[in-house]
Structure 1
Amino acid sequence: MNSRIPAGQPTYSRTSHDPQLSNPGNDLASVRARLAGGESPTARYGPFEETPLHLAAAAGAAEAVTAMLAYTREVDIPDGRGRTPLWWAVEHVQEQTVRVLLEAGANAWRPCVGAWTPGRLALTTDLAPLVAETPGAVPLTVAQRAEQTRADRLISVFSAEKIHTEGLGVTFTDVLGEDEVIRRLGADPAKCPVFQQDFEMDQRDLFDAGGNYAVGVTGAALGCIVSQPFSNALDDCELARRLAPATAYSLFFNPKGGTCGTLYRDGTEIRHEEVGSLTPSADAPPEHWLYRFWQQPCIPFPHGDANLLAYACAMGGITKATARDCWALSRGPRRIVRCR
């Protein structure tokens, strides 16, 4: 999706008046010279009042972080949203800068977003050993570990193959059986043959052949996936109404920017939200944290939107899925249904 940051690029903004120290990509000698010249590692810049220390931590510039810490005792200085440099390092999964900050006395268990701490996030990543024994550590419960494992398994399903998400509209529903979904959409299952799912096929050919208001229907382990890869042929509200009684979650990757999701139960809208573009707020649903909306997109998944698809899948009532379930979006649907 266009609004997400390309892999490998740091998630911060610089303006023309920022001092050079706010660019952690500069060489270490230059960083040291500017520090010696009086530039502050804790001066605030940008829309989130981040400091050069935050930016260097997020970029994984461990030597620059070490140099900056020689000029400040504010290892846990918060940005304008309350997030410390350690939080920035953890959300970008930067092991070396996490190490440096912890050795300098950074508090892994300082609340930064509501009750959420850098240590709590780190425990769900490969960084866990670095924070598990730090002062004030709060280990994950058995239930929390199991819940995160289930979420990560679902993310892995949608990481199995590349999925083109720009312009994609997809609804996950707990209605069991393709034939039942097709009937609820107002069509005859006997007139909706099964297609071979093919990664090389242009899915537009299938949908064009289906005519106006054509959607794809593919059975999943515990429900069905209704896909509209190139247009919003059938309004989400109308689709949810036809699928009722059911739980359904519709996700739309807007090519003009942003990804929106809507949860429906029995045809009634429960929640409409923008997902994945920002670190969750303190009052965000717990699933936003569970499905790693906090983890910055310059790392994370083999397919960059896999966590959003996994989240939508779970919210639609499909809590288990197999590797083949992503084929509905990577290789095309099994059935094409003309809804009107």
Structure 2
Amino acid sequence: MDTKSWHLQDWDDPAGIEARLAGGESATAPWGSEHSWTTPLHLAAERGNAGAVAVMLTHTRQVDVPDSRGLTPLWHAVAALRGESVRLLLDAGADPWRPCVDGWTPGRLALTTELAPLLAGTPGAEPLTAVARAEQARADRLIAVFSAEPIRTEGLHVTFADVVDEDEAIRRIGADPAACPVLRQDPDTDQRSLFDAVGLYAVGVTGTAYGCIVSQPFSLELDQDELSRRLSPATAYSLNFNPKGGVSGTLYRDGDLIRHEEIGPGTPSPGAPPEHWLYRFWQQPGASFSHDANLLAYACAMGGIRKAGPRDGWALSSGPRRIARCR
């Protein structure tokens, strides 16, 4: 089967899929490279309408066929919050409690979403503990803070630190708080001009109830190691959205490097920290939060700021409260 001839629009064309499958093509044949492949059923479950999934299920009994990462079609449907496709796959015999990555199952993920009623009563279901529900609720509230704002992340460098006094953060960075007036946060303001007016090594500083957000929207003139060293003693998590692609994060405590990681949407790798699951790295962006909102929330929490209010997102959408020049 030449599955390369499948196109994105096919996942919304049940009649076309029926014709192809009736002609001998397979809904579960591997598609991709030797080391990274999926199947049409996986893609339909993630991207298509329920009609496409329904047609494919009439042509295969391999409802739990894994892709190259060990993920089933049900996993992909859950990750995209495709409720009707989830129901169809369950009706066809898909196992929601089949471990896919580090013991995580599609059902376990679904219990943290609006799909929970579809999975809660299935054989093998284990309800979330009160602790797990509370942890997820805290993470989701933080994701909502950043999802509510139109944040441009391309090229953004941002550090979240548990320095609870804005003036103190400015002093640690190497500037005089008296020389850093409070700015009017406005989404229509040209942030580049604000930073350019201060000069080289300018960073934005915005205090929150639990820490500070230090941002460099356009260039990384003060590198993450130096910024973290200056903020010390503190816990700080620096997030770098490389405009050429990829997102990296670095965790520091008291100026010491604790962890450097490449992060982003998609199934967490085996052995990933539990916070990658908590902050929904597995969930498709756009399903219930805006793009990159969960990455910002994760970095915020890892930097020691575990609570944030609606206005805290303004630091990245409407500009910082203050701009300091690091000497």
- Gapped regions of structure 1 (runs ≥ 5): 1-15
Count of residues in Structure 1 that have an aligned counterpart in Structure 2? 325
| Cα distance change of structure 1 residues 52 and 255 upon mapping to structure 2, 3 Å threshold | same
2:211 is the alignment partner of 1:211: no
Determine if contact 1:168/1:254 at 8 Å carries over to the other structure: yes
2:13 is the alignment partner of 1:27: yes
Shift of 1:233: 1.7
Q: Which residue of 1 aligns with 2:45?
A: 57
2:305 is the alignment partner of 1:318: yes
Flag the structure with more relative contact order, 1 or 2, with Cα contacts below 8 A and sequence separation at least 6.
1
Q: Which residue of 2 aligns with 1:129?
A: 117
Q: Give RMSD over aligned pairs.
A: 1.7
| Cα distance change of structure 1 residues 296 and 44 upon mapping to structure 2, 3 Å threshold | same
The DSSP-based 3-state class of the residue aligned with 1:171 is strand
Q: Taking structure 2 as the reference length, what is the TM-score of the superposition?
A: 0.95
Q: Which amino acid aligns with 1:246?
A: A
Shift of 1:19: 4.2
CA distance in structure 2 between the partners assigned to 1:222 and 1:298 by the alignment: 28
2:27 is the alignment partner of 1:41: yes
- CA deviations 1:154-196 (Å, max 9, x no partner) are 0111122211111111000001111101111122111111111
Determine if contact 2:12/2:51 at 8 Å carries over to the other structure: no
CA distance in structure 1 between the partners assigned to 2:317 and 2:169 by the alignment: 21
Shift of 1:24: 3.6
Shift of 1:243: 0.6
Q: Which amino acid aligns with 1:331?
A: S
Q: 1:332 aligns with which of 316, 319, 323?
A: 319
Q: Which residue of 2 aligns with 1:306?
A: 293
Shift of 1:320: 0.6
Q: Which residue of 1 aligns with 2:211?
A: 223
CA distance in structure 1 between the partners assigned to 2:72 and 2:140 by the alignment: 26
The DSSP-based 3-state class of the residue aligned with 2:138 is helix
Determine if contact 1:115/1:282 at 8 Å carries over to the other structure: no
CA distance in structure 1 between the partners assigned to 2:267 and 2:6 by the alignment: 26
Determine if contact 1:24/1:61 at 8 Å carries over to the other structure: no
CA distance in structure 1 between the partners assigned to 2:93 and 2:214 by the alignment: 50
CA distance in structure 1 between the partners assigned to 2:97 and 2:234 by the alignment: 40
Q: Which residue of 2 aligns with 1:145?
A: 133
The DSSP-based 3-state class of the residue aligned with 2:260 is strand
The DSSP-based 3-state class of the residue aligned with 2:32 is coil
Q: 1:283 aligns with which of 271, 288, 302?
A: 271
The DSSP-based 3-state class of the residue aligned with 2:31 is coil
2:250 is the alignment partner of 1:262: yes
Shift of 1:282: 2.3
Shift of 1:299: 2.3
Shift of 1:203: 0.8
Shift of 1:17: 5.8
Comparing 17-26 with 170-179, greater Cα deviation is found at: 17-26
- Gapped regions of structure 2 (runs ≥ 5): none
**Any runs of at least 4 consecutive aligned residues in structure 1 with deviations exceeding 4 A, and if so which?**
none
Determine if contact 2:11/2:52 at 8 Å carries over to the other structure: no
Shift of 1:64: 2.2
CA distance in structure 2 between the partners assigned to 1:238 and 1:20 by the alignment: 49
Q: Which residue of 2 aligns with 1:104?
A: 92
Shift of 1:61: 2.7
Determine if contact 2:234/2:254 at 8 Å carries over to the other structure: yes
Shift of 1:22: 8.4
Shift of 1:335: 1.2
Q: Which residue of 1 aligns with 2:175?
A: 187
Q: Which residue of 2 aligns with 1:76?
A: 64
Q: 1:90 aligns with which of 59, 72, 78?
A: 78
Comparing 33-42 with 148-157, greater Cα deviation is found at: 33-42
- CA deviations 1:136-161 (Å, max 9, x no partner) are 00111000000000000001111222
Q: Which amino acid aligns with 2:222?
A: L
Q: Which amino acid aligns with 1:59?
A: R
2:229 is the alignment partner of 1:248: no
Determine if contact 2:185/2:319 at 8 Å carries over to the other structure: yes
The DSSP-based 3-state class of the residue aligned with 2:204 is strand
Shift of 1:298: 4.5
Determine if contact 1:24/1:59 at 8 Å carries over to the other structure: no
